[in-house]
Structure 1
């Protein structure tokens, strides 16, 4: 999640301003960028326990080491460093101490992978000195809710108290999940709509290809991606696959209407989070928000509210692909490669739309429901989702080839898809690989995942 917001910005008095805010995200293709974010679990190498914020070797000390060694700028909430900034990239904390790099908007996957590599090298250097490691999985494989320390961020206190009112697994989402996502641009409302529909329909394919959370508290949990399942029991007001996106007339205005009906979490004023959980942003527009009586929202309030919506694809002034589990180094580069290949080249986007345009609402809902448990083995149209995944990876590969963005040695971006091509071809997901080791060489010891898969 983001660093603390700033309680300033243009006052908002009408719904139209909210629509215009999203419309301002439109940009020509030459200015499209790739923003990759990934979270990972920080753990003590001595006993694999998650890092607390305070104390020697805690998250606070880790953040300070990034400042001292690599020139990151600290961002504070009260007296606590809770995020870092360097150029257009930032490092932030999820509620349970998950450590997130939100990368800069970059032009190519080559640049994205260089950024990921630099960051993980810094993680490894500091970790060797402070006695911690970091692990990319979709769900914490070993520790219980009560074992997870909470980070000192005001918005998380509000969410922690509200989440159990709307679902059974929201606290697990906050403290025990990690994801990798990519943020991508659009040129117009029509381009946004087409990309939104394609990416929503194909999000279960990405979820299956990146499925990497088969363990809970040291045992198999029966899922390929328990992280994805958790979102189905977190908060129905703000999660899901948004069927209205496929309806005639969908555009920026319809998304604004959806966002307006999602209850708020908070407002931010003068360095403090004010609890507005369950309250209505429409009433805020009317100056009738109980925690800020008589005040109109600012554009920063609208932006903050958009960050508290959690659908499988999220619209801001760009689009966020949110369906993948966290994972190892190469798959952090593979996710942006997949979606850039599908969405950033016209003929690939057309081919992806041709693939999904006749899928029914019932079929899309079935995939969202069944993929977390069955992964690529999910039955679909007389075959399995693995068949679709192979088609999707092939379309993305051709899209990247046609993009023609080459590195210094002349290689294009297609090689970043190789991990996904292997998964789609063999049908063995990352979760399947982990389960085979658990039942084989690991002899039922989940702790081995920390030894073999830490960055």
Structure 2
């Protein structure tokens, strides 16, 4: 999750809220790719999640990265809670999941190099401390009480609030991991088209990257338990946003939506002030109960936008939020999937043609069915396996059209990053299917085998 935002002056006019989003418009030559991925850390001896303190701990990991690889520390209340370097940052999810939020880069080759460097650094520190990291969408065995809450004020507030809304909020916070990619737009119209494609097709990403078939030590009956959790969490700030597909969608319409999402907090002088359930509309009028008479800054608006969790969301860029955390090779496949579909005009048009006739009810049903059934889910008489195959062909053509070479020109384009997804579709097996086959086969129901075979 995000670190506190900064750099915004007082909001004097409501139009500044939409302008903040509009300021994300960039000419195509300046479009970038920002990849984020989360992973679970655990002690190798006991296969238990890492505490914040101790010899085998999150603090040791962050301090090791700081001391050995020139990361700058981010602290809160005297605790190291993150790191920054060269436009990237390392942060903590509520249960100690370690996240890399990558720098905005021009090609998938570059973002994959960044991922590889990060995981090598993490493994180097982890090996010396007796810890390891694994990429899964949900914690396979650990209970809620096994996952310690990290010492961040934001999370203390959210933890209490999540117990009051939905059924799975604290599971999301402590026991899930995702891979995301952040992408740009050129104009408001370009944002709208990309947003519609991104939302409609998130369930296909969920099926392609489904990697959480276990929870609390046994199969849970879902391809993506992480995606299941998001379906019963907090209806005020999650979902498929049907208004995005309606006439009149634009920056102002998203502002209207965001203003109606209840607040979590206001960040002041290094502290999180409880604003749970309060209204940003009241804040604009100086009537926020938590800060009577005070009006918000653009930093407050930026912070508020980070507390909204639909399947895709916008800030000054667009975030794709539908994929489970996964193995090393698949981290780079996610940006390849979305860049191929959204960063080439022909591909974007073709991707919209796939989804444009789906109704809001069908999109909602597909969100559920993709998490439950994966490739076997259906929409419009087609299986998601068939839809995914078509989209991969569209995306591959989009990447070929981009023609961004790598390895000093030895690699012609970025299409090889899709290979893992092509293999899944042709085999008809998601990562969850592969894990379940091992669990019911060679592992003979011994889920502890997952650590040795699937850790980074």
TM-score bracket for this pair, using the shorter chain length: over 0.9
1:3 aligns with 2:7: no
Structure 1 CA distance for aligned equivalents of residues 411 and 369 of structure 2: 41
**How big is the shift at 1:120?**
0.5
Name the SS of the counterpart of 2:81 in structure 1: strand
Give 1:414's aligned residue.
415
Give 2:73's aligned residue.
74
Give 1:448's aligned residue.
449
Give 1:198's aligned residue.
197
- Residue by residue over 1:366-413, the C-alpha shift from the partner in whole angstroms, topping out at 9 and shown as x without a partner, is 101211110110022223111100001110000000000001113310
- 1:71-220 matches, within 5 Å, as 71-220=70-219
Contact 1:13 1:286 in 2 (8 A): no
Contact 1:162 1:277 in 2 (8 A): yes
Give 1:55's aligned residue.
54
Name the SS of the counterpart of 2:385 in structure 1: helix
Structure 2 gap ranges (5+) = none
Contact 1:27 1:188 in 2 (8 A): yes
- Give the aligned length: 454
- Residue by residue over 1:216-240, the C-alpha shift from the partner in whole angstroms, topping out at 9 and shown as x without a partner, is 1110000000000100111000000
Name the SS of the counterpart of 2:11 in structure 1: coil
Contact 1:285 1:296 in 2 (8 A): yes
Task: Quote the RMSD (CA, aligned, Å).
Answer: 0.8
Give 1:276's aligned residue.
275
- Residue by residue over 1:91-150, the C-alpha shift from the partner in whole angstroms, topping out at 9 and shown as x without a partner, is 000000000000000000000110000001111111110110000000000100011111
Contact 1:438 1:444 in 2 (8 A): yes
Structure 2 CA distance for aligned equivalents of residues 3 and 73 of structure 1: 14
Give 2:31's aligned residue.
32
Structure 2 CA distance for aligned equivalents of residues 36 and 383 of structure 1: 30
Structure 2 CA distance for aligned equivalents of residues 2 and 364 of structure 1: 28
Q: Could you state the TM-score of these two structures normalised by the residue count of structure 2? A: 0.99
Structure 1 CA distance for aligned equivalents of residues 300 and 315 of structure 2: 13
Structure 2 CA distance for aligned equivalents of residues 323 and 230 of structure 1: 12
Q: Structure 1 stretch 408-417 or stretch 397-406: which is displaced more?
A: 408-417
Name the SS of the counterpart of 2:262 in structure 1: coil
Structure 1 CA distance for aligned equivalents of residues 291 and 111 of structure 2: 41
Contact 1:390 1:421 in 2 (8 A): yes
Contact 1:36 1:183 in 2 (8 A): yes
1:260 aligns with 2:259: yes
Q: Could you state the TM-score of these two structures normalised by the residue count of structure 1? A: 0.99
**How big is the shift at 1:348?**
0.5
Give 2:223's aligned residue.
224
Give 2:332's aligned residue.
333
Q: Which runs of 4+ in 1 moved over 3 A?
A: none
Contact 2:5 2:302 in 1 (8 A): no
